[in-house]
Amino acid sequence: MFGRPPQSLIKSILLGVLFFQAILFLPETLILENADVLRQAKAVDLFNSDAQKPISYEVPETNVGELTKFMTRVMGYQPSSREEMSTHRTKAFRALSIAADRILELESNKTSYAYHLAIETQLSKRLIELNGDARSDIEHIIRDLQAHLTSREPKQADRSLAMFAANRVLALGSLDLATKSLNTSAAVFTKSKNRNNVHFGHLLTGTARRLNLFGNSMELVGTTLDGQEFDLTSYHGKVVLVNFWATWCGPCIHELPELKHLYHTYHERGFDIVGICIDRRRSTLDRFIKAHPMPWKNLHNRDTGDTFSSSVEYGVTAAPTMFLVGRDGKVVSLNARGQYLRQLLFNILGPPG
């Protein structure tokens, strides 16, 4: 029986499942983004010298331990060229699928790392192979995913799997089932004793809320940087850009001059901006605002006690994220940036000048 693996192998399993799901086969353009997973991927030194050695895709026939080691070697391998990556994708997909199936046949301990790795790989494979007409298959996967998540205290790999499932279903154009997947997973994570799991569960709920914001009202309250109470409903009658940004975010800073230009162009006609800074440190934000004054109100995004931050409430994991709210208080766009934002303002408020 395969016992508890060393910490390095646990990290490899975590990154391997992420690799299998989000790098090897998922389309490059994602509708959702999981910034926490990406940060963890960068923090783990998975691609060591052993990962660079040529690997065999021949699945061992031996035992659970060897199969698990084989899977982590394949998952951790880093191709050295585009051509090799293309070959690796095809061969690794087949090899990992076979290895996972063999582990499920051999492993009797359903609480082991090997068993859960195989289940996660199998679920990922089923998600990858879905097509747009497979509504019943999606519902089966959602049920199986929930069963997997409730079989133990959720781990980081389970967070990756839950977000990947929602990404994949949404990419197939099924908003209602993506919402269902997010909410059923969230119900598991929020009941966890682990604080990070609880936070992630609320993030999933927020993501579901965000995906269904179009055409609905957006609630946003807080305190501005100058200490004033803020409520988005006070902007009723205006067209408002809600901008989740950060001082460390290059694209956010790059777009700042354009936002100032649009603000000055359309402000007298009823356009306003509300900034929600997701920086962790208020002092960093204060220094930035002092160096780069903004004519609109800004709030500092943060959790306070039992109240989750605005970014969690709307599942915002990437900056910049911009919502455009119409005069009636209803959201008209979940991705109001660049040329599209200019076109939206032209359509609603008329030509500049």
The two beta strands, 271-277 and 297-300, are parallel
Q: Which residues on neighbouring strands pair with residue 223, listed in sequence order?
A: 229
C-alpha R_g of the chain: 23
pLDDT at position 240, please? Answer: 98
Q: Which residues on neighbouring strands pair with residue 274, listed in sequence order?
A: 242, 297
Q: How many residues belong to the chain?
A: 353
- Two tokens at 38? 């990406």
- Distance of alpha carbon 203 from alpha carbon 190, whole angstroms: 10
Cis peptide before 320 (omega within 30 of 0): yes
Q: Which domains does the chain have, with CATH numbers?
A: 7-158 (no CATH), 221-349 (3.40.30.10)
pLDDT at position 78, please? Answer: 85
Spell out the per-residue pLDDT of the chain, length 353, in tens: 333 334 433 333 344 444 444 433 333 333 333 333 333 333 333 334 444 567 899 999 889 999 999 999 998 888 888 888 889 988 999 999 999 999 999 999 999 999 999 999 999 999 999 987 789 999 999 999 999 999 999 999 999 999 999 999 999 999 999 999 999 999 999 999 999 999 999 999 999 999 999 999 999 999 999 999 999 999 999 999 999 999 999 999 999 999 999 999 999 999 999 999 999 899 999 999 999 999 999 999 875 544 468 999 999 989 999 999 999 999 999 999 999 999 999 999 999 87
Would the CA dihedral through 122, 203, 136, 149 be positive or negative?
Answer: positive
pLDDT at position 47, please? Answer: 38
- Two tokens at 127? 């998600």
Q: Which residues on neighbouring strands pair with residue 217, listed in sequence order?
A: 330
Distances (CA, A) of 131 to 170, 327, 350: 11, 39, 41
pLDDT at position 206, please? Answer: 96
pLDDT at position 181, please? Answer: 97
Contact between residue 252 and residue 288 where contact means Cβ atoms under 8 Å apart:
no
Return all residues near 219 (Cβ < 8 A) that are at least 6 apart.
232, 313
DSSP code at position 235: G
The two beta strands, 271-277 and 239-245, are parallel
DSSP three-state, residue 79: coil
- Two tokens at 236? 């009723």
Sheet holding 321-325, edge to edge: 297-300, 271-277, 239-245, 321-325, 331-333
Q: Shortest CA distance to 219 belongs to which of 229, 233, 235, 208? A: 233
E strands, 160-254, in order: 221-223, 229-231, 239-245
Return all residues near 187 (Cβ < 8 A) that are at least 6 apart.
201
Return all residues near 315 (Cβ < 8 A) that are at least 6 apart.
32, 203, 204, 205, 206, 207, 208, 209, 210, 211
The H-or-E segment that residue 111 falls in is none
Contact between residue 209 and residue 313 where contact means Cβ atoms under 8 Å apart:
yes
Buried b (16+ CB within 10 A) or exposed e, 69-88: bbbbbbbbbeeeeeeeeeeb
